[in-house]
A and B are shown apart, each in its own frame.
Chain A
Amino acid sequence: MSEPGDNLRRLTGLYSTMARIRAFEETALEAHKAGEIPGPLHVSIGQEAVAAGICVNLRIDDRITSNHRGHGHAIAKGADPKRMMAELYGRANGYCRGKGGSMHIADFSVGMLGANGVVAGGIPIAVGAAQGLKMQGSDAIATCMFGDGAINRGPFLEGLNWAVLYKLPVLFVCEDNGVAAFTRSESVTAGPGVVDRARALGVKAITVDGNNVMSVDDAAQSAVAAVRRGDGPHLLHVRTYRITGHTSTDAAAWRPAEEVQEARSRDPIARLGAVLCERGVPATDLGKMLDEAKAEMTAARKDANAAAWPEASVAYEDVQDTGAVAWSK
């Protein structure tokens, strides 16, 4: 059993992680509006408890696959926001040398096997990573972050079936923000949903309040331990809410204002803040964490905006070893 002090430290850490994710994405949104960041930008404001609560339970050698709304997953897994921001800006010092952008951030050095521009695209990859790890005799696990829209794609059925068949060390996390792009998921999803679908295949699955980071942390702690000890795949259905639109340019104005307001009242950062205050953490300490997060990301923005673009020759690198460049220019 952990001591109360350890628990408080863990919660404070979660608060800091969520604050950093929020600050990263708010800063990126501002930069996008200012015309500094090109391309589409999918932010996860309001969903930070999912990334933080899951990834705090993962080791650096555990792998994750993410999706198009993956900044939080990367930060929580230990990626460097400076290199992430540089990638959003398309600069040479970005994680992908400016070739991926927001939708393709990866940091293999911390087990982050990549965001993905295709819904459900990360599911087969995570399953295969788990299979590889099992073959290698490792006790590392793979975690797969996907949205509620993904459960209507074929790879969801295939991947869960597969993970059960080979009893793979994979944790599926359905980060359910209730909306697939511009459409309410419930209006396009038959049956009772992801948990029932998973259980029908023999995957142990539960639903968790994804706006309460302590609930996510508790559920993930149990699930990760079970997956790591060889119990086979587990699924967490983590219910949350996407405060902002599908992309940076989408206001999602079709949603009733009261609905968004209600969701804001369940903001995961404010909720954990209230808990920490109750447990005696001074409000000034929390404010300091928020300020530090904002300062970190503002500095990342400033650095990224000043960073060099990749040389044109970089466009021809990292294609393939054989037959890459000679005849393609």
Chain B
Amino acid sequence: MVEVTLIEASRRAALQEMRRDERVWVLGEDVARGGLWGQYKDFLGEFGEQRVVSTPISESTIMGAGLGSALVGMRPIIEMRIFDFVMCAMDELVNQIAKIRYMFGGQAKPAVVVRMPHGMWRNSAAQHSQMLEAWFAHLPGVVVVTPSTAEDTAGLLVQAIRSDDPVLFFDPKDLFGVPGQIADPIEPIPFGVARQVVEGNAATVVSWSAAMPVATKGVAMLASDKIEVDLFDLRTIWPWDQAAVIASVKKTGRLLVVHEAVEVAGFGAEIIATVVDKLGPSNIKAVKRLAAPRIPIPFAPPLEAEVRVTPEKVVTAVKALIAM
């Protein structure tokens, strides 16, 4: 085991897979210089300019060319630099990548990984901070990966690169410097398996991505008040670990979902609706979402703070749940 930051864990995962499989290549802006986040540092020297391709700022073609290469048997890592830029490649992602296998009757499986560093980071304002992962859970044909730790990032990225499905990989920008322990070689982590972080009976708390450390801190504060909860990191929101969450809520009767994205029509709504549907309302005492207000991400730190979930808000929300 070696201790590395989350972004370095992702670098080592991609490095391992590019060494393992020569069909894997990476394309995106500045990737030959190591990528905006250093996640491809030294790749050019090892793999050469055909497999590590710095591209023009042409998101449609970054996405579409990745797809085209997959249709002739390559396995591209499509780097979007920052999630928000994927909006410039929505046709290629939504109309093409997500649908090609289906609308061609299974003739092709586009094995692409789209990496999209998302979330709030150093006051980057409305076009560099968004968390729209729920949009993509809504989209048939893709896997949606939302890790929060170095270990999970490494294992899930290996799984993503080996997957025949298109995988949308939401790198958590704000957590890139967080350290973790990774193994060598990095073993894949299957999609749709939540990681339980803490055990308790008072309530079930579910989170993912950048909200996860916030939820973890809140849960630790609750523990010092002798309130113990089940805390899950979903790690992937499509597929998501229904079985683990439902089993926990069956035990606790109370469910809080914490995410950084806007609350309205966020993925928390899907989780709560599913759990209520599967368990029946009589088996549930209370449900709650803790997420962002429905406003764009503002720039000024005190305004941005309005959007963020905090450990204190987690504590308040869980206490409110228990009182219900």
Residues of A within 8 A of B (CB): 63, 65, 94-100, 104, 106-108, 113-114, 116-118, 121, 123-136, 142, 154-155, 158-159, 161-162, 165-166, 317-323, 326-328
Interface set, chain B 101-157, CB cutoff 8 A to A: 101-109, 140-143
Contact of B72 among A133, A154, A320 (CB under 8 A): A133
A274 to chain B, nearest CB (A): 39
Q: By the criterion CB–CB under 8 Å, are A118 and B91 in contact?
A: yes
CA distance A321 to B192 in the complex (A): 12
Interface set, chain B 52-80, CB cutoff 8 A to A: 53, 55-56, 58, 60-61, 63-74, 76
CA distance A328 to B139 in the complex (A): 11
Q: A322-B163, A326-B239 are in contact. List 5 more A-B contacts (CB 8 A).
A: A97-B105, A127-B64, A129-B69, A317-B106, A321-B165
Q: By the criterion CB–CB under 8 Å, are A319 and B101 in contact?
A: yes
- A100-B104, A124-B61, A135-B74 given as contacts; is B68 within 8 A of A320 (CB)? no
- A117-B95, A132-B68 given as contacts; is B60 within 8 A of A95 (CB)? no
B86 to chain A, nearest CB (A): 14
Q: By the criterion CB–CB under 8 Å, are B239 and A318 in contact?
A: no
Q: By the criterion CB–CB under 8 Å, are B69 and A135 in contact?
A: yes
CA distance A142 to B74 in the complex (A): 15
CA distance A121 to B99 in the complex (A): 13
- B76 partner residues in chain A, CB cutoff 8 A: 128
CA distance A25 to B253 in the complex (A): 61
User: Residue on A with the closest CB to B238?
Assistant: A323
Q: By the criterion CB–CB under 8 Å, are B64 and A100 in contact?
A: no
Q: By the criterion CB–CB under 8 Å, are B102 and A162 in contact?
A: no
CA distance A129 to B74 in the complex (A): 9
A29 to chain B, nearest CB (A): 23
- A100-B103, A154-B60, A318-B102 given as contacts; is B69 within 8 A of A128 (CB)? yes
Q: By the criterion CB–CB under 8 Å, are B58 and A132 in contact?
A: no
Q: By the criterion CB–CB under 8 Å, are B69 and A321 in contact?
A: no
- A319 partner residues in chain B, CB cutoff 8 A: 101-102, 140-141
A316 to chain B, nearest CB (A): 10
CA distance A65 to B76 in the complex (A): 19
- A328 partner residues in chain B, CB cutoff 8 A: 140
Q: By the criterion CB–CB under 8 Å, are A321 and B72 in contact?
A: no
CA distance A43 to B255 in the complex (A): 55
Q: By the criterion CB–CB under 8 Å, are A130 and B68 in contact?
A: yes
Contact of B60 among A133, A142, A155, A321 (CB under 8 A): A155
CA distance A97 to B67 in the complex (A): 22
Contact of B61 among A104, A142, A158 (CB under 8 A): A158
Q: By the criterion CB–CB under 8 Å, are B142 and A320 in contact?
A: yes
Most buried by A among B58, B100, B103: B103
User: Residue on A with the closest CB to B55?
Assistant: A162
- A158-B61, A162-B56, A323-B192 given as contacts; is B106 within 8 A of A124 (CB)? no
**B289 interface residue per 8 A CB criterion:** no
CA distance A117 to B107 in the complex (A): 17
Q: By the criterion CB–CB under 8 Å, are B96 and A121 in contact?
A: yes
Q: By the criterion CB–CB under 8 Å, are B105 and A322 in contact?
A: no
**B191 interface residue per 8 A CB criterion:** yes
Q: By the criterion CB–CB under 8 Å, are A322 and B67 in contact?
A: no
**B164 interface residue per 8 A CB criterion:** yes
A153 to chain B, nearest CB (A): 9
Q: By the criterion CB–CB under 8 Å, are B68 and A318 in contact?
A: no
- B105 partner residues in chain A, CB cutoff 8 A: 94-100, 318
A157 to chain B, nearest CB (A): 8
- A320 partner residues in chain B, CB cutoff 8 A: 101, 140-143, 165-166
**B51 interface residue per 8 A CB criterion:** yes
Q: By the criterion CB–CB under 8 Å, are B61 and A162 in contact?
A: yes
Most buried by A among B71, B100, B165: B71
User: Residue on B with the closest CB to A170?
Assistant: B68
B156 to chain A, nearest CB (A): 12
CA distance A161 to B57 in the complex (A): 11
Q: By the criterion CB–CB under 8 Å, are A158 and B51 in contact?
A: no
A-B contact pairs, 24 of them (CB 8 A): A95-B105, A95-B107, A96-B104, A106-B107, A108-B104, A118-B95, A121-B91, A121-B96, A125-B68, A128-B68, A128-B70, A129-B68, A131-B65, A131-B68, A135-B51, A155-B91, A161-B56, A318-B105, A320-B140, A320-B142, A320-B143, A322-B192, A323-B238, A327-B274
User: Residue on A with the closest CB to B164?
Assistant: A321
**B181 interface residue per 8 A CB criterion:** no
Q: By the criterion CB–CB under 8 Å, are B95 and A124 in contact?
A: no
Q: By the criterion CB–CB under 8 Å, are B71 and A129 in contact?
A: yes
Q: By the criterion CB–CB under 8 Å, are A131 and B69 in contact?
A: yes
User: Residue on B with the closest CB to A323?
Assistant: B239
Most buried by B among A104, A125, A159: A125
Q: By the criterion CB–CB under 8 Å, are B56 and A158 in contact?
A: yes
CA distance A123 to B107 in the complex (A): 20
- B142 partner residues in chain A, CB cutoff 8 A: 320
- B191 partner residues in chain A, CB cutoff 8 A: 322-323
Contact of B73 among A106, A125, A136 (CB under 8 A): A136
User: Residue on A with the closest CB to B100?
Assistant: A114
- A107 partner residues in chain B, CB cutoff 8 A: 107
- A96-B107, A132-B68, A132-B69 given as contacts; is B101 within 8 A of A318 (CB)? yes
**B50 interface residue per 8 A CB criterion:** yes
A312 to chain B, nearest CB (A): 15
Q: By the criterion CB–CB under 8 Å, are A114 and B104 in contact?
A: yes
- A100-B105, A318-B106 given as contacts; is B71 within 8 A of A113 (CB)? yes
B235 to chain A, nearest CB (A): 13
Q: By the criterion CB–CB under 8 Å, are A99 and B61 in contact?
A: no
User: Residue on A with the closest CB to B92?
Assistant: A124
